[in-house]
Amino acid sequence: MVVFGQFLEVLIGGLLAGVLYSLVALGFVLIFKASGVFNFAQGAMVLLAGLALVRSLDFMVARGVPVWAAIVLGLVFAGLIMAISAWLIERFVVGPLVNQDGLTLFMSTIGATFIIEGAAQLIFGSDVYPLRLFPTDAWFLFESAFPGGILVNKLDVWGGLIAGILVTGLAIFFQKTKTGRALRAVADDHAAAQSVGIPISWIWFVVWLVAGLVALVAATVWGTKLGVQFSITFLALKALPVLIIGGFTSVPGAIVGGLLIGAGEKLAEVYLGPFIGGGIEYWFAYVLALAVLLARPQGLFGERIIERI
């Protein structure tokens, strides 16, 4: 019973941690679906959103604004910052590159990354700022069935809930709205999309705005977990294997990829660690991604790559 209890605890903890990876991966999927661009700047956007939120919160709380009001205003402020940066990115980075190759756009997002990282820290500061939006203590479940119960982090549960709501909303947005269809059209072919009257600049603004808001959501959860700091940008590296496993074009894929990696790396750490010497968490995701690449290059949920020759 103890063995099974431990297994459950590791599995649940892993799955919930995986959801947090998915949160970051979602931002990538959105941009990729709508513009065919791998957005290198997603990690930097999480940092920007987190800094804008935590610094405005601290500012207001220090001046005696009630905490609940400060949180609401802080979220609005950070959302506004993401809207402005979405507009700037569309106007000055990707907008002038309509009808260019995906690789050209990818390079431009690398440039945007450095500017966003630099500007964010210049404006909001570069220390580690603690964020307390969600409870960080733990529950102990099923204490009657398992000695000591099963430890579940409350923050991880919050993260899971938020990710669930986000995915439902995004799935409806992409599948059921004409804007969603326009987004998919733009991703496939810029010129054709323009010719049927889809205004690309507006669509791209919407895409970057939504990706910015997803970054803000990721920042609230990850910021509470790690504190808002520069290393939050490295989350992007953990999102990459999630995307490879789930498929770059699939919202559900980002979730399943995150779950597989989260659960896989924790289970491997606990059960394989003692035999091959620990530290598995750090490389497990990448090896798993490599295996998927060999078997199914488009990812588990990616659209089949169709190429007529």
Q: By the criterion CB under 8 A, which residues form the site for another protein? A: 172-173, 176-179, 181-182, 184-185, 188-189, 191-200, 249, 303, 306-308
Would you say 199 or 279 has its CB closer to another protein?
Answer: 199
> Measured between alpha carbons, how far is 197 from 162 in angstroms, rounded to an integer?
35
Shortest distance (Å) from residue 204 CB to another protein: 13
Would you say 29 or 198 has its CB closer to another protein?
Answer: 198
Shortest distance (Å) from residue 183 CB to another protein: 11
> Measured between alpha carbons, how far is 190 from 104 in angstroms, rounded to an integer?
14
Would you say 41 or 193 has its CB closer to another protein?
Answer: 193
Residue 111's alpha-carbon distances to 117, 123, 160, 244, 251, in angstroms, are 10, 18, 32, 23, 26
Would you say 203 or 235 has its CB closer to another protein?
Answer: 203
Do 127 and 55 form a contact (C-beta atoms < 8 A)? no
Residue 239's alpha-carbon distances to 26, 93, 198, 274, 291, in angstroms, are 9, 23, 31, 27, 16
Shortest distance (Å) from residue 178 CB to another protein: 5
Would you say 8 or 97 has its CB closer to another protein?
Answer: 97
Closest CA to 264 of 245, 249, 237: 245
Shortest distance (Å) from residue 194 CB to another protein: 4
